[in-house]
Amino acid sequence: MNTPVHKAAQSLRSAIRIVGFSGLGILMVTMSLTGVIARAPADSTDVGPELTPPSASYPFGTDLLGRDMFSETVHGLSVTLSGALIAMLVAIAAGGLSGFIAARFPWRSGYALRFVAGIFSAVPALLLAILFVGIAGRMQLTIVAGLAVAPAAFARAFDRARRLGTSPHAVYARASGIRESTLLQRDLAYEFRDTFLSTAARALAAVTIVISTMSFLGFGAVPPARDLGLMIASARSAYIVGWWTAAFPALALLLVVLCARLAAGLEEGERP
């Protein structure tokens, strides 16, 4: 029933999604204009005095090697988002799309795959990523991050597809003689229209956390290609005397994850 409270909640969730997608749009534009916005090339040392606090000359300050933290944060954001977008596509293909297709498999095989995905999704994605990196190597981190997030996406897509396939209108369509292939095409169109953006945004938030954490732990980006996770890790020796060297990369990372989670849409009782 569409009560006033329910309508207000729907309007609020829609507004939150708009805010999230707007934030992601700004971040994507920033990534595409990295060469224009950043005044120094990536990993350029001696751009300014060492450990200069934020000022008019250096808005984000400088680090122990005299690198301009504003430029480094923009470059790090670009590296992080580039990798996260690739990992997101892997998660959608190996998780969301595969789960949707598996829901149409014969009962036993489909639910067997759902059972396996449920087991893997019960394991934190970060632990799966560490396991997969140990097998595939750190150079495959983006693919590994997508595969680590895929089980949860598979389970969500499978459950949603099963509900759609057993709904009253689907039962009536089969009784009317409509072919399964036609139903599959229609359901896939609905899946893409109604949930693709939410699934992509949710996957983007998850893989960004995995990639950044892996880089922080030393399993990710290799200098001079520094992402936000590696930047935060590199600033550990200056956390006290130069808080800005870690604070601004951490803030950029927070914005990416928060905007992606808001864009994904919040379900009842769910927090960002």
For residue 68, the cross-strand partners are 62
Give the sign of the dihedral formed by CA 247, CA 23, CA 90, CA 196: positive
Q: Looking at residue 180, what is its pLDDT?
A: 61
DSSP 3-state of 68: strand
Quote the tokens at residue 50: 């060492």
pLDDT score for 269:
42
Identity of the amino acid at 251: L
pLDDT tens figures, 245-260:
999 999 999 999 999 9
Domains and CATH numbers, the chain: 4-36+68-264 (1.10.3720)
pTM of the model: 0.86
pLDDT on residue 110: 85
Taking the C-alpha atoms of residue 182 and residue 57, their distance in angstroms, rounded to an integer, is: 62
Task: Report residue 51 as tokens.
Answer: 């450990």
Residue segments in the chain with a per-residue pLDDT below the cut of 70: 1-2, 5-6, 107, 165-194, 266-272
What pLDDT is stored for residue 271 in this prediction? 45
Measured in whole angstroms, the distance separating CA 190 from the mean position of its chain's CA atoms is: 23
pLDDT at 38: 93
